[in-house]
Amino acid sequence: MKINKRQAQIVQIVDVENKVSVNDLARRLNISEVTIRKDLSLLSEYGILIREHGYALKKNTSDITNRLSINYDIKCKIARKACSLIDPNETILIASGSTCALLAEEIAKTRPSVTIITNSVYIAEHASKIGKNKIILLGGEYQSDSQVMVGPIVRSSVKQFYVNKIFLGTDGFMKKAGFMGSDYSRTEAIRSMIESAKNTIVITDSTKFDKRGLLVQFADNQVDELVTDSNIDEELKNYFIRLGVKVHIVD
């Protein structure tokens, strides 16, 4: 999937407002309705949003293709930086999530010797189509809306492994509470996966620090490294540094 800057703007508007007319999008982006309709057709084909007659509608926020398109360019930069932290021939854990999916794509394109262990069916399928990496999909109950494996089988299967690094995203953050999730089953799976890694590396765009989830996934002092963008609040960046987190910033 590859979308341009204008299409990313459309997705951002629809993500905030849920339903937007073609006329309104054309006016706000100062382009023709014909161009907007072509963009909506492509975005609908990718499964990022829903196109109805004269309107664009937001999809289920758990849908990975929808989340991939939000802040797409920044997420790609974060994914490339995260990929540079991986050693040749290393085995890593990657949790579900849009930036994690882009990391897996970058690994598949540039690091064929890296082995990926994941609970994301989307990541396993997508990365296997691009590269020749060894990919291990953790067993469990399939959660169709987010295309991930969850439940007690994930916990038992991930215990068979111990790796140096796990890469994961987040749905939100709260100081002193930690990084947050919005789904109980996915949160439980991530907690289990963290126990099988020496170092926890969070990869997320800075907008997530302005959001709150329903559940605490893991404490902020459990994180070893953070990869995010330059829009992170300076005070918050220093907060992580004081905790001993190594912070990587992309422009």
pLDDT of 199-233, one tens digit each?
A: 999 999 999 998 887 789 999 999 999 999 999 99
Beta bridge partners of 115: 91
Percentage of residues of the chain with pLDDT beyond 90: 71
Mean pLDDT of 159-175: 95
Q: Which residue has the higher pLDDT, 58 or 20?
A: 20
**Arithmetic mean of pLDDT, 104-124:** 96
Residue 250, pLDDT above cutoff 60: yes
Give me the sign of the Cα torsion angle 155, 149, 165, 133.
positive
pLDDT at residue 68 greater than cutoff 70: no
Where residue 1 falls among pLDDT bands split at 50, 70, 90?
low
For residues 145 and 115, the model is more confident at 115
- Residue 15 binned pLDDT confidence (cut-offs 50, 70, 90): confident
Q: Is the pLDDT of residue 248 over 60?
A: yes
Mean pLDDT for the chain? Answer: 91
Per-residue pLDDT at 63: 58
Residue 151: pLDDT above 70?
yes
The confidence score (pLDDT) of residue 176 equals: 82
What is the pLDDT at residue 132?
Answer: 93
What does pTM read for this prediction? Answer: 0.77
* Mean local confidence (pLDDT), 21-44: 93
- Report pLDDT for 144: 85
Assess if CATH 1.10.10.10 describes domain 5-59.
yes
Mean pLDDT along residues 33-47: 88
Pick from 224, 227, 176: nearest CA to 197? 224
Domain ranges of the chain: 5-59, 72-250
Q: What dotted CATH number matches 72-250?
A: 3.40.50.1360
Of 28-32, 57-61, 116-120, 121-125, the poorest mean pLDDT is in: 57-61
Contacts of 219 (CB under 8 A, 6+ apart): 177, 178, 179
pLDDT score of 189 more than 70: yes
DSSP characters for 203-245? E--GGGGG---SEEEE-GGG-SEEEEETTS-HHHHHHHHHTTP
Distance CA 16, CA 49 (A): 12
* Common-topology check for domains 5-59 and 72-250: no
| pLDDT attached to residue 210 | 85
pLDDT band at 236 (very low <50, low <70, confident <90, very high): very high
The span from the CA of 61 to the CA of 159, in Å, is 30
pLDDT at 30: 94
